[in-house]
Structure 1
Amino acid sequence: MTRAGAARNPAPSQEQLWTTAEDKVPSLGAAVEFLQKRRLIPEGSHALTNEALITGLLHLAYLRPAHEFAAEGLIAFAYVVRAVAAEAQDAVSRAVLERVEDQLTLRLDEHASHVETRVAELTQGVERMRREMETTVAELRDACGSVQRAEEKLGEARKSLESAALSGPVLHVPGEPVTTVQSLTIDSAPTRVRRAATLADLLQRQVLVRDATLQDDLGDWLSSKQVCARARSAINEMARAGLTPPGDGTVEEAKVLPHGDVVFTMASREMAHWLLKPIMAKPFARKMGMTAQVVERTYKLVAERVPISFNPQDAAALRAVEEAHGLRPHAITCADWIKPIARRHPGQRTTFVMLTMAGIEQANRAICGLTLAGRRVLVRRDLEEPRWCAKCQRYDGHFARECIVEQDVCANCAGAHATARCNARDDPWTYRCANCATDGHAAWDKGCPTLRAKTSGRIQRRADCGFHFFVTNASETWVSEEEELARAPPRPQSGLRSGIV
């Protein structure tokens, strides 16, 4: 070519050369075809391998190709490199996935084997518990039958003793006269005693159920008759399950109290005692509601002049008192100081304790006296005294928050000021009763004639008041409480306000 022709056809630039090469080798297929045609890579399955790539590059360098051929060859090798790299990456990914899959399969097999083992163990445990429960239910039925037979025998023995007491002479120690208490029976007792015994029998036949469900499935409130029918159905279901009630085991009446509790009256005391047993109370309560509880009737007692070293909140101390005096476990359901500790006088050594007893027999046994903190103390029934207003000092059945009197009346001196502002509270000689309008005692004095008259009136109105013990059919519980009222400290002599002795 002449110099003039070269000038007319100049050599392509590097960019043009490269663009032309890319157009000739546009894809991986074209690249492989280009390289195999020029024997830079082998044909077949070994074309796209690292070894074929290295050999082809060395061969290309050995040929010393022209610019155009070199550009096309390098572009072709670039496609091959990408393909080889992608294939290598896919191979690594597949290897990793296979490894992960193998590990997961192994772990899942281990967990599945562990779960199967645990399920087998739990199944065996459930089966074992089912067999134990069946055995326990059978033993429980046998025990209930034994208890029922024992109660029937005890009832027959009691009836025999009562018949013997009515038909024959009363046994007593030879050489000693027969006392009045020994010779009394419930039929020969005074009318007031028989009324109290009848009321006590009714109370002992009652069972309190708290938080019972008092609505049906539609949300309508149940009447007392419907609640009674539900209780009877529950007892029948318990009987079919093996928890057989006593012979006259039925519910006579149900009374729904204003705050939602229910009082069931049983046909007999034996039936009430049977239902109060924990093994009977729990299934009965569940049938009366998810949160229902069967509560035993309690009796309030006052232990006087108890040493302050005694701790009524110590459960172990209460259990020790029960054991020492022959009371059944947990007969003392609650104990607390009557006067708050903060209100004690400096140097005070004794105070009063309120005891809550479960069971009338346990309460009567405690009334005979207890030893608390090493000291024998007097125990009495908690007297239901008339309501006392701390504002007007009257015993008219209301408290200070309900009092309609505008002016405070002092409980110490009967003055027209609040008791807390009285200057005579530490001087008993200046006391004056606002109720009796007499000198010598304060309105809060337990020996106040007005308080005694009010208390006596309440005793006459209530059949079970006025007795030292809680009245039962046992004649030793018929002791009058009049001597208890007479035990209040004597009042100072009249005229002490003026200094006359």
Structure 2
Amino acid sequence: MKVGDRLVRFCEAWESSAILRPNYHEVVVESLLVETMIENAYERSCIEKANKLPANSIAQICWIKPIEKRRSDQRYAHAIFSMNSREAANKLILHQAIVGSKALRARKNKSDPHRCAKCNVFGYIAEQCKVEHDSCARCAGRHRTSSCTAPDDQLQCANCKTPGHGAASRDCPHFIRKLKKRVQWEPERAYELFVTRDPETWVRDDAPLKEDFNQGWRQEVANSYNTWTIVKRGNGQG
């Protein structure tokens, strides 16, 4: 019996109280032609063949930005490829994604901490915001970001109150602190690839893999990566 079949039967045993959510491994593929028929199963199979992936490696593909929000002259858009295995996802990241005879940059989908589009506070989205006034993500003024007229040399962060950058800047000290906290409870986010038993996938974004990396620590990570047991031993950097 396949894993998927077992999950379906498990949910059926719980009747309507259980919801089946597949464990996909998401990869962002950049700059696809907007004419690409990503919802078509045949198109997905062609992408799998072009990238020498096993059949049914791609569970689904969806555009990041809703089609109705595109510019009228937009030709390219980013999409999320939901992969059924870590190995298939890593192959796209390492070797680029071949779509329509073009090699496109692919990267692991890493969600950032939620930031309210209304007040720019981290931790919730605009629909949940209880702040009465808007806060501009560019100059920190009490107006919508879309109506901001401040020049680029007058940016100010609504969060850390520092001039020189807006609230959406990835260099903002406040954002960096929030990102580090997210990594603490989502450890796989710190890695460029999806972690497997292959040591090459254990390279963190913020630290190169060292030659003297403790082998015992490696093996323990390899044996526990599916459950994400956090291990700190020897000279391991992970």
Q: 1:321·1:371 contact (CA, 8 Å) conserved in 2?
A: yes
Alpha-carbon distance in structure 2 between the residues aligned to 1:417 and 1:286: 48
For 2:90, the equivalent position in structure 1 comes to 364
Partner of 2:194: 470
Larger radius of gyration between Structure 1 and Structure 2 = 1
Please point out which of 367, 375, 391 is paired with 2:118. Answer: 391
Q: Which AA in structure 2 matches 1:379?
A: A
User: Taking structure 1 as the reference length, what is the TM-score of the superposition?
Assistant: 0.37
Counterpart position of 2:108: 381
Q: Distance between the aligned counterparts of 2:102 and 2:180, measured in 1?
A: 31
Matched, 1:419 2:145: yes
Q: Give the counterpart of 1:460 among 149, 164, 184.
A: 184
CA contact (8 A) 1:393 1:434 kept: yes
Does the 8 Å contact 2:155/2:163 carry over to 1?
A: yes
- For residues 422-463 of structure 1, the C-alpha deviation after alignment (integer angstroms, 9 at most, x for no partner) is 335xx5444432123234433223443432331122113333
How far is the alpha carbon of 1:362 from its aligned partner? Answer: 1.8
Distance 1:405 1:289, change over 3 A: closer
Shift of the 435–361 alpha-carbon distance from structure 1 to 2, 3 Å rule, reads: same
Kept after mapping to 2: 8 A contact 1:432/1:443: yes
How many Å separate the matches in 2 of 1:435 and 1:287? 47
What value does the CA root-mean-square deviation take over the aligned residues? 2.9
Structure 2: 5+ residue stretches without partners: 208-238
Residue number in structure 1 paired with 2:65: 339
> How far, CA to CA, are the matches of 1:307 and 1:482 in structure 2?
32
Question: Partner of 1:464: helix, strand, or coil?
Answer: helix
Alpha-carbon distance between aligned partners in 2 of 1:428 and 1:374, rounded to the nearest angstrom: 39
Structure 1: segments with no counterpart, 5+ residues: 1-273, 484-501
Decide whether the 8 Å contact of 1:468 with 1:477 is kept in 2: yes
Say if 1:404 and 1:345 are closer, same or farther in 2 by CA, change over 3 A: same
Secondary structure of 1:445's match?
coil
TM-score (norm 2): 0.72
Q: Letter of the 2:165 partner, please give it.
A: H
Identity %: 30
Could you say if the C-alpha distance between residues 480 and 450 of structure 1 is closer, same or farther in structure 2, counting changes exceeding 3 Å? same
Residues 344 and 423 (structure 1 numbering): CA distance in 2 closer, same or farther, change over 3 Å?
farther
SS at match of 1:482: coil
Structure 1 residues 353 and 480 mapped into 2: Cα distance closer, same or farther (>3 Å)?
A: same
Question: Which residue is 1:276 aligned to?
Answer: 3
Displacement of 1:387 in angstroms is 1.2
Q: Which secondary structure state, in structure 1, belongs to the residue aligned with residue 179 of structure 2? A: helix
Q: Name the aligned partner's letter for residue 33 of structure 2.
A: P
CA drift at 1:343: 2.5
| Structure with greater helix percent | 1
2:74 aligned with 1:348, yes or no? Answer: yes
Question: Matches of 2:101 and 2:120 in 1, distance apart?
Answer: 38
- Given the superposition, is the C-alpha separation of residues 290 and 459 from structure 1 closer, same or farther in structure 2, using an over 3 Å criterion? closer
- For the 8 Å contact 2:39–2:62, the answer to whether it is kept is yes
Specify whether residues 286 and 428 from structure 1 end up closer, same or farther in structure 2 by C-alpha distance, changes over 3 A only.
closer
Q: Please give the alpha-carbon distance, in whole angstroms, between the structure 2 residues aligned to 1:399 and 1:376.
A: 35
String of CA shifts for 1:111-134, please: whole Å, max 9, x gaps: xxxxxxxxxxxxxxxxxxxxxxxx
Residues 300 and 382, structure 1, Cα contact 8 Å, conserved in 2: yes
Q: Give the drift of 1:358.
A: 1.0
- CA-to-aligned-CA distance 1:66-88 (integer Å, 9 cap, x gap): xxxxxxxxxxxxxxxxxxxxxxx
Contact 1:285 1:294 in 2 (8 A): no
Alpha-carbon contact 1:299-1:363 (below 8 Å) kept: yes
Q: For residues 430 and 293 of structure 1, do their structure 2 counterparts lie closer, same or farther at Cα, with a shift above 3 Å needed?
A: closer
